[in-house]
Structure formats: C-alpha cells, structure tokens
Chains A and B, each alone.
Chain A
Amino acid sequence: MLDTVVLFFALGFAARLAKSELKLPAPLYEALSIYLLLAIGLKGGAELAKQNVLTVLPQVGAVLLLGVFTALLAFALLRAGRIAHADAAAIAGHYGSVSVVTFAVASNTLVSQGIDFEAVMPLFLVLMEVPGIVAGILLARLLGPRDASTPVAWGPLLHEVFLGKGLVLLVGGLLIGWVAGSDGLAPMKPFFGDLFKGTLCLFLLEMGLVAAGQIGGLKRGGLFLAGFAIVMPLLGAMMGTAFALMMGLSVGGTMLLATLAASASYIAAPAAMRIAIPEASPGLSITCALAITFPFNLLAGIPIYLWMARLAHSMAG
C-alpha cells in the first residue's frame, strides 16, 4: 500500500535519528519547494481549464468552511486537554491550514493506483491554506485574555498570509495552467511532469531530516499533545470525508479532501502565527505538525483515508 516516495522520507528520518551528517543545502530545499508548488499549480490549472469553473462555486464555500471547522475542532480538543489558550489557538491554526506535500503524496498514491479524482482538488488545496490560520488568530485574539498583548496588525499579517511564497506559486501556477491548458503546457511536460516524482522524493528526504530534528520537542509537549497530533488528523479526516460526501465527490476526491482536513501546515502557518500570536510557544505547534502528524499521515494516514473514503462511498451507496 505504501508509495515508494514515502521510503525517502523514512530514509531522511532514520538518517537524522542516527545523527548522520547528511544535510541538503538550504537553497536546494528552496528550489525544490518552488518546483513542487508550481508543478502542482500548473497541473491543477490545466485540468481546471477543461471544465466550467462556475459549477464548483458552491463547493468553494464548503471547503472554506471545512478549514474553519477543523481549526475549531482542534482548538476545542486542546482546550479540553488544558493547553494554554494562546498555544491552543496557534496549534489550531496549524491544523486548520493544510500541508501541500501531504497532498502531493496522497494524489501521487491515487495516480499510481489508477484512482481518478476531481480536477478541482488543487484549487481546494489553495482555498484551505488560509481560513484555518485566520480562525486560529481570531480564537487567540477574540476569546483570549485581554492582557498586555498588543492588537493584531491585520494589514501586514494578511499580506504575509496571502502573498507568502506558497500561495503566490500555487495560485500563479493554477492561473498559468488554466490560461495555457494542456496543449500550452505540453512543451513543459518533461520538466514539470516527468520529473515530478523524483523531485518529490528528494523533497521528502529533506522533510524526513527536518521532521526527525523536531523530535526533541516531544519532551516539552508531553503525552497529551503527542496523542492529539495523531487523533486530530483522524478526526479531521472523518470531517473531510463527511464534507466530501455532501459535496458529491468521487472516492479519489473524498480521500484527498480527507487528507487535506487531516494535514497540518508547517510552512505558511508557523510564520504567520509567530507574529500574530507571539505568546504561543512555536516549538509546540511545529513538533505536533511536523514531527508527528506529517509522518503519521504519510505512513498510516493516507492508506487509512483511502479506506475511509471507500467505506463511506459503499455505505452511502
């Protein structure tokens, strides 16, 4: 069931745990992430061009809601576990947002198993980046203790969220792909298409190294947070599956939406949260999202969500 690309993640993870000196140069990591974001956007855009975008408008609203709901669910769980208000809000923001790489691995799994999914899924990926982050910030600021902490400067913050590297490249790729269509992208296919899987492998190798480096934070987080980082993706996936059924998505689309709801952001969210909720400990969010939830989703989550999607569809008839 496991996709081969995941083995590269395991290699990086093991190498870091064994204190190997293996390290990818930072500019290479940057370049790989730019490539992945653009490639996902382009492919999604070209698929989108084949259909009438207006028909998906009602689904857009549902997907935005799903991002907010996962953040609220995470916040409620964390507060029930007596996690400090600011920390709970910051972590909820991470879980409300999504992980692009988890999405890439999940869609790769579907492709290699020959399961179709809706062309709009990359658009849903883009839409789910932001609402969870905003919900997390609002939870911290509107419900939080009104002590010395300064009010949020929304202008610079929204600029950071919407014009961050991730969204610019994803949305830009979508638009270029949409304008160019499959024919326009054909000359780029050797680069953005054929090389995609190999690039994903290299990227996951680096992610394994980074994730294992965050394991030390587990000691500070404690057992409750470790448990949360495994239970939350499962609950998020159930919520995503339910939303997907209501939206009438196929088995592949259901699995991808469940994966999106289950994944936690570790690129866009941390940068925004550090500025918006400074009193929250950044180590806790990163440990949960990167050291536990991300590996869990890759190794166990994605197969489970596929099983969940099939079960849900067979039950729904």
Chain B
Amino acid sequence: MNTHPIKLVVLVCEAALEKPLCADVKRLGARGYTVVDARGAGRRGERDGSWDEDRSIRMEVLCDAPTADAILNHVQAAYFRNYAMTVYTADIGVLRPEKFGPS
C-alpha cells in the first residue's frame, strides 16, 4: 500500500508537563497527539509511577517536518533544563496524509 512520509515526534517526560505540552504542540501546528502513561528510568533516576510526582507520560505527535522542528526547538528551550525529558523523532509513513498536515 502507498504510504506518505511524515515525521513522528515522541516526547517522554514528567506527567506534570502534560497540560503545557498539549497546548504547545497544537499552538506549533500539530493537528493532534496521543498521550499514554509511562514508567521507566533514566539520567534523573527511576520514575516508577507510584506517586503523582513520579508519574511519566509518553506523547506521540505526527506532523510535517517544519512543525516537528518547531516542537523540538521549543521543548529544548523551555523544558530540557529543569525537567526529566527524552525526545526523539523518526521518519515514518502514514495513510491519509491530509489528517496530519499543516492546520
């Protein structure tokens, strides 16, 4: 089947950032996002989700390349210094590209 190339941006971070991040990615042009609860460990220690402040989320955003860049630049400037956060991107393929294009 013919898929269209698009960017996947994945942000793994403290649950406290969920609300601001949702607003951020929409403002920067993403059409939508998916958030799931997460557990894990990293440079800032183990986050086992046993307590509100220990909860983490994983947010996935599908968008075009300029929007992905805008999101990366923004989270790097706004959150990297003070929050536990991992961000990565991937080139993937989707059906119905108009669903994820610039809004």
B19 on the interface (CB 8 Å rule)? Answer: yes
Residue-wise interface mask of B (43-61) relative to A, using a CB-CB cutoff of 8 A (1 in contact, 0 not): 0010000111100000000
A156–B16 touching, CB < 8 Å: no
The smallest C-beta distance from A86 to any residue of chain B, in angstroms, reads 9
Instruction: Name B's interface SS.
Output: mixed
A210–B20 touching, CB < 8 Å: no
A248 on the interface (CB 8 Å rule)? Answer: no
B34 on the interface (CB 8 Å rule)? Answer: no
Query: Closest residue of chain B to A149, judged by CB?
Result: B82
Given A274-B14, A279-B82, A156–B52 Cβ distance below 8 Å? no
Please report the C-alpha to C-alpha distance between residue A111 and residue B4 in the assembled complex, in whole angstroms.
68
Query: Closest residue of chain B to A278, judged by CB?
Result: B82
B51–A286 touching, CB < 8 Å: yes
- A residues within 8 A CB of B53? 270-271, 274, 282, 286
Chain A residues 193 to 226 lying within 8 A of chain B, measured CB to CB, are 209-210, 213-214
B52–A275 touching, CB < 8 Å: no
B50–A270 touching, CB < 8 Å: no
- B residues within 8 A CB of A156? 19-20
Please report the C-alpha to C-alpha distance between residue A278 and residue B52 in the assembled complex, in whole angstroms.
16
4 tightest A-B contacts by CB? A278-B82, A274-B16, A270-B53, A279-B82
* Residues of A in contact with B (beta carbons under 8 Å apart): 23, 148, 150, 156, 209-210, 213-214, 267, 270-271, 274-275, 278-279, 282-283, 286, 290
